[in-house]
Amino acid sequence: MTIGVDQERLVNEIEELALISDAEAPAVTRIVFTPTDLKARAWLIARCEKAGLAVRQDPIGNIFARWTGSDPSLAAVGTGSHIDAIPNAGKYDGVVGVLGGLEAIRSLRDSGFRPKRSIELLLFTSEEPTRFGIGCLGSRLLSGTLSADAARKLLDKAGASIEEVRRNAGFQGSLEEVRLPDGYYKAFVELHIEQGPLLEQQKIPLGIVTKIAAPASLRFSIAGVGGHAGAVLMPDRRDALCAAAELILAIESAARTSGAVDTVATVGICEVFPGAVNSIPSRVDLTVDIRDTNLERRDAVMLAIQAARQTVAVRRQVPIHEELLNADAPAQCDPSITETLSQCCVKHQLAFIPMVSRAYHDSLFMSRTAPVAMLFIPCRNGYSHRPDEYASREDIGRGVTVLAEALATLAA
C-alpha cells in the first residue's frame, strides 16, 4: 500500500478554513456556536460528505464523519481534533488534526485500502475554554468526565446557558445522549502541532506522546478596602492588589519548588477593581492554571497554594475566597498504540522521540473512554495561540502519512 498525501490540497484547505474567522488574517478567531463557528462546521461537513463519509452530529455539536468498514459491528478507530480558536489565534492548532485526519482517510481510500473496522473523523466541540470557561467541552461530555447536569449549569459571559446557546445554534436532543457507549472506539489517535519548541530545536520531525499533563484551575477573589490613593496612609491600607501580588509570587514559587520540571503554574487573569490610578484596589480576581504529568505532585502544589492563600490573608488582613474550577487527572497514552505509531515512523524512515504533552487536549478526556495516543509535528519557534503560529507543509505531510499508516494498521 502506497500512501500518497495530497499536501497541496491539505494546505489549501487549512488556508481556506483560516479565512472563516472573526479576526482579520493572519489571526483566527472562532468561538463555539457563533455564526462563524457554524459556518466553519458547515464547510467541514461539506468536505467530509464529498469524501464519501457518513456524517452525524450529537446534541453538543461534536461531528462524526465515518468511513464504514467491512465489519461495522466492530469498535471503530478514531482520529480528529478541534477547529474552534481563541481570540487572535493561529490557523494550525487543532485544525491540523481535523483536516489532517480527513486527508489521511482520503489518502487511504485513494491507495485502495479498505478497512475492516470503521475509521471515524471526530470534530470536538469547544476544545478552547473561551466561551463557557471550561476547555474540552465536547470530549468531557463524550467521555462522561462532565455530567449533563453539570454542563447545563454552564453560562457564557453574557449569562446565556449552554442549553440556550446550543439550541439557538440548531443542536437538539438531550445532553445525556452525548456520552459514548463503552467500547465505542478500539483506539483514538490525535495529530497535533507540538505547541512547544522541542521538535524544532532537535530537528526531529515527529513526537509520539506518552503522557498528557493534567490541568487544574482555581479562582481567587481578594476583598481589600478601597480609598483615595493620596489620602489613605500606608499603615492603614488593606490593598487587594498588593495581597494578590504576594499570592501570585507564592503560586510561582510552589511550581518552581515542586521538584520536577513538568510542574507549571500560571496566573493568566488578574482583574483589578476599580482600576483607577488614584484609587486603592478594593477587589482583585485571579484565575490560576496548574499542570503536571503527576497527579500527586500537582495536588501537592495546590495544597501549597492554599496554605499561601491563608498566610497572605492573615498578614494582609484581607479575605481571600478560593474556588476550584476543575482538577483533572493526567493521562497515560496506550502503549500498544504508541508502539504502532513508532513502527509506522520506522516504516517511513522518519525520526521520532517520545514526548510529554504539557498542553492538554481532547485526547486527555477521551482516554477515560478509549485507548488513546497523540502524534506531534513541529511548529515554528514553538509558537501557538497567536497569529504567527506555523507548521510547514512538509511537516504536516509527514504527520498525516504516519497517521494514515497507523489508522490502517489499527483498522485492518
With left for phi above 0 and alpha for psi between -120 and 50, is residue 142 left, alpha or beta?
alpha
Contact 300, 286 (CB under 8 A): no
Looking at CATH, the fold of the domain delimited by 214-327 is given as Alpha-Beta Plaits (3.30.70)
Predicted confidence at residue 356, as pLDDT, reads 93
d(CA 410, CA 186): 8
Does the domain at 7-213+330-411 match CATH 3.10.20.880? Answer given as: no
305 CB neighbour count, 10 Å cutoff: 22
Kindly list the strands in the beta sheet with 264-273, ordered across the sheet, starting from the edge strand earlier in the chain. Answer: 264-273, 283-292, 214-223, 320-327
Look-up: residue for cell 478509549?
370
**Regions in the chain scoring below 70 on pLDDT:** none
Tens of pLDDT, residues 50-75? 999 999 999 999 999 999 999 999 99
In a 3-state reduction of DSSP, which class is residue 352? strand
Let me know: does 21 contact 27? Beta carbons within 8 Å. Answer: yes
The predicted structure's pLDDT at residue 372: 98
Residue 277 burial (C-beta neighbours within 10 Å; 0-12, 13-18, 19+): exposed
CATH 3.30.70.360 in the chain is located at: 214-327
Q: Cβ(357)–Cβ(365) under 8 Å? A: no
pTM of the predicted model as reported, rounded to 2 decimal places: 0.91
Residue type, 328: D
pLDDT digits (tens, 9 = 90+) for 88-128: 999 999 999 999 999 999 999 999 999 999 999 999 999 99
What's the CA gap between 231 and 252, in Å, rounded? Answer: 33
pLDDT for 1: 76
What confidence score (pLDDT) does residue 133 get?
Answer: 87
Q: DSSP for 359-406, please give it.
A: S--HHHHHTTTS-EEEEEE--GGG--SSTT----HHHHHHHHHHHHHH
CB within 8 Å of 392: residues ≥ 6 apart: 378, 380
Residues of the chain with CATH 3.40.630.10: 7-213+330-411
The per-residue pLDDT for 189 is: 98
Q: Specify the pLDDT at position 50.
A: 98
Whole-angstrom distance, CA of residue 103 vs CA of residue 101: 5
* pLDDT at position 326: 87
- Classified as helix, coil or strand, 330 is coil
Which alpha helices (H) appear in 257-334, and where do they start and end? Answer: 295-316
